[in-house]
Amino acid sequence: QVQLVESGGGLVQPGGSLRLACTASGNIASIIGMGWNRQVPGQQRELVAAITADGTPNYAESVKGRFSISRDNAKNEVYLQMNGLKPEDTGDYYCYMSVRDPMYRLHEVWGQGVLVTVSS
């Protein structure tokens, strides 16, 4: 079994920065894709950023130029650096990972979510 633990959320003023981190632990052979989704109450969860196994990032249009995703394969971690935060970035941020276990089975794993609030 694989668990994801997120950290780094909180309250920040518009224009400020936050860095989210997500660490995977458990029965892991390798991690393929990693990413972050965001959910606002009453709306569907949406992709914010994703990163492939070879480090290629992909961003939602709304965060391009402001957010940066990165990963540390040795630590089984993914990060989301958020700069120039706007009130509309407020929401629950969920990390996810596509994990292969030692039996080569693929698991889609989600974290518990971390709240980001952008407000003055």
3-state secondary structure of 119: coil
What pLDDT is attached to residue 107?
94
Q: What would the two tokens of residue 43 be?
A: 């709306």
One-character DSSP codes across 40-109: -TTS--EEEEEE-TT--EEE-GGGTTTEEEEEETTTTEEEEEE-S--GGG-EEEEEEEEEE-TT--EEEE
- Residues β-bridged to residue 74: none
Mean pLDDT of the chain: 96
- Residues β-bridged to residue 68: 81
User: pLDDT tens digit string along 4-19?
Assistant: 999 999 999 999 999 9
User: pLDDT tens digit string along 1-56?
Assistant: 899 999 999 999 999 999 999 999 999 999 999 999 999 988 999 999 999 999 99
